[in-house]
Amino acid sequence: MSKKERISSTLELRGISRNFGPVRALDGLNLVLAPGELVALLGPSGCGKTTALRIVAGLEVATSGELFVNGERYNGVAANARDMGMVFQSYSLFPNLNVSENIEYGLRARKIGSAQRAKRVAEMLELVALESKAKSFPHQLSGGQQQRVALARALAIEPRVLLLDEPLSALDAQVRSQIRDEIRRIQLELGITTLFVTHDQEEALTISDRVGVMSNGRLEQIDIPDVLYNNPASTFVANFVGTMNHIPTIASGDTVDIFGKKIRVKNSKGVNGSVSALVRPESIEVTRTSGSGNAKIITRSFLGASSQIICQTAEGAVIQALMPSHESGDLHPGEDVTLNVTLSEVLVSHV
Amino acid sequence: MGTEEQCKMASILRISSLQKWLIISFATLLGFTLFVMPVIASSIYSFQKPGGKGFSFISYTWLLHQDGFFASMGISLKLAALAGILNISLMVPTMVYLNFTGQRFKPLVDFICILPLVIPVVSLAIGAQNAMPSFLQNTQYELVFFFVIIGLPFTYRSLDTALQAISLKTLVEASRSLGASWMRTIISVIVPAIRGGITGALFLTIALSIGEYTITSLLHWETFPTWTVVASQQNLLGAIALSVFSFVGAIALLSIFALFPKKSARKVEVDQ
């Protein structure tokens, strides 16, 4: 089996459930990863994403459901026989072993000869650009370096699937985006099927081929980042991914009234009464009015190419808008403005 | 204002440093009279010729020529080493299990391990001996099992503290996911990580075993402590020489164990 074939496996979870006593942490999760695909599981803490990852790794046992790697059933396979590379949240390097020894640990367990081990360690060190740290001990490395070694160690065994359990959450912001991009580069270079668990939507959206949003042990929606952002399937996904305005309004029939404009409701057809319309900041247009508008500007923050404008409507709702900076230069705090929604249909949630 | 306050601070410091000095000198004096002086006095005394005139090794040569000196010491060291090894090989996997997946059994095992301190030695000796298979009852190796039992309270705590100081769960899971068996995980990841705790547990078990008198005596076996009691009844100077010898021996053993973890720490620094 060539390296590429071995590393680009399919991973399939079929109706995986897991109960912890009376709590149902995972509720019939179905998920298929194509060879070489990076899929992120995104969700708030307690949504079951980590449990799903741990079941794939063999560190947790599913209450029901089946797991397949390359079509082979993996349910009863022990964690140490699964050939899965896993990167943990933090502090998972063996403190008594130096960087090289950490990387070759999995190779030793596989009884691979020392010449081959040394070759593989050198390759891995080059991959994560840590050749100079080969003889350092974990406590002498920074958090980012430690996670790169952990990644190299997980990849050294040529795993069938790479599992990332919030590998960036213990790092500070700057290092985080750097390691994030490095993970994606290496993942694409090796073409390794990867399951990535995170609670950070930015992390998930930036490096994944597809993102699965989870809530209460179920997959709410799984799609490419663009669709997830622009066309969320549920109000949960809409709220969890990206920034969202909740505009209080009244629904009648299939439409809601937003800033005096009738807009079609995408979900909960036929709903009547008080609802919140979910509108992204970039779908709101702020224009100056000579007379009285429907809102007042509270602040405008310059963010570079775009600017964030926070307004308050006559009814008291605070609305966030995102506009190109060159179009919003003449908007000043305290001014009366007119808000407009540039959407043809909208998601609503009950209040 | 500033200088006034500084003066005040300085005077407070002077008084407190005086107090500190007093406390230190009192402690030194106390330690000297109660501990160092008897040791020095008995050392000097043990090098005296019988009758009180001149310097000689006679008490020590007498000691070495006593029947059973080397034999009993050899037995003690052998039994203690076996007890230490058995205790560690039993307790390391047990403590790893209790701290990893067996959390709910921890209070029970904790309770069992504390029992040797609570149960009177006589009942422990007689009761446990009756429970042993008869082929063990007839050899001195039965003592090994008693020594393991009396070491349990200390081993439990020493290993538990060491295991709680490391991120056991992550290390075990990392090792398992890399393809290592449980055996490899314990030997090449956990044992080095809790080396200090293991050394401590091993030292305590060995020290307790070498010095154990009551059980050995109740079961009529001859080890170094029981031999000492018999031998010292014949010769006063010899008995003192014996106690000085045991003391120096204990210090030597202690130093060897104390040096173990330091050696590995130094290795890390050199590699830097």
What does A285-311 look like in DSSP terms, one character per residue? Answer: EEEE-SS--SEEEEEEEE-SSEEEEEE
Is residue B190 domain-shared with residue B219, that is, in the same domain? Answer: yes
Domain enclosing residue B33, as ranges: 2-46
How much is the pLDDT for B1?
A: 45
Is residue A210 domain-shared with residue A265, that is, in the same domain? Answer: no
How much is the pLDDT for B15?
A: 64
8 A C-beta contact, residue A25 and residue A51: yes
Q: For residue B179, what is the nearest residue in chain A, using CA coordinates? A: A80
CA distance A211 to chain B (A): 24
Going across the sheet that includes A161-165, the strands are A84-87, A161-165, A194-198, A38-42, A210-215, A218-223
Is residue B38 domain-shared with residue B105, that is, in the same domain? Answer: no
Structurally, chain B folds into a number of domains equal to: 2
Taking contacts as CB-CB distances below 8 angstroms, the residues of chain A near B176 are: 58-59, 79-80
Is residue B108 domain-shared with residue B203, that is, in the same domain? Answer: yes
Residue A68: phi, psi to the nearest 5? -130, 140
Q: Which residues of chain B have pLDDT under 70?
A: 1-15, 52, 260-272
Residue owning tokens 């043809």: A344
Taking contacts as CB-CB distances below 8 angstroms, the residues of chain B near A89 are: 170
How much is the pLDDT for B235?
A: 80
Domain enclosing residue A262, as ranges: 244-350
Residue B52, domain member (yes or no): no
CA distance B158 to chain A (A): 20
C-beta atoms of B181 and A59 within 8 A: no
Structurally, chain A folds into a number of domains equal to: 2
Is residue B73 domain-shared with residue B201, that is, in the same domain? Answer: yes
CA distance A178 to chain B (A): 23
Q: Which residues of chain A have pLDDT under 50?
A: 1-5
Is residue A71 domain-shared with residue A220, that is, in the same domain? Answer: yes
Taking contacts as CB-CB distances below 8 angstroms, the residues of chain B near A91 are: 167, 170
Residue B53, domain member (yes or no): no
Is residue B20 domain-shared with residue B74, that is, in the same domain? Answer: no
Is residue A136 domain-shared with residue A27, that is, in the same domain? Answer: yes
Residue in A80, A94, A154 nearest the CB of B189: A94
Q: Is the dihedral angle over the CA atoms B244, B250, B252, B258 positive or is it negative?
A: negative
How much is the pLDDT for B265?
A: 43
Residue B204, domain member (yes or no): yes
3-state secondary structure of A333: coil
Taking contacts as CB-CB distances below 8 angstroms, the residues of chain A near B178 are: 80, 85, 105-106, 109, 153-154, 157
Taking contacts as CB-CB distances below 8 angstroms, the residues of chain A near B272 are: 136-137, 140
How much is the pLDDT for B263?
A: 44
Which residue type is seen at B246? S
Taking contacts as CB-CB distances below 8 angstroms, the residues of chain B near A111 are: none
C-beta atoms of B178 and A79 within 8 A: no
Residue B60, domain member (yes or no): no
Tokens, residue B110:
């904790």
How much is the pLDDT for B54?
A: 78
CA–CA dist A247, A261 (Å, integer): 13
Q: For residue A57, what is the nearest residue in chain B, using CA coordinates? A: B177
CA distance B251 to chain A (A): 29
Residue B55, domain member (yes or no): no
CA atoms lying within 13 Å on the CB side of residue B136:
12
How much is the pLDDT for A256?
A: 87
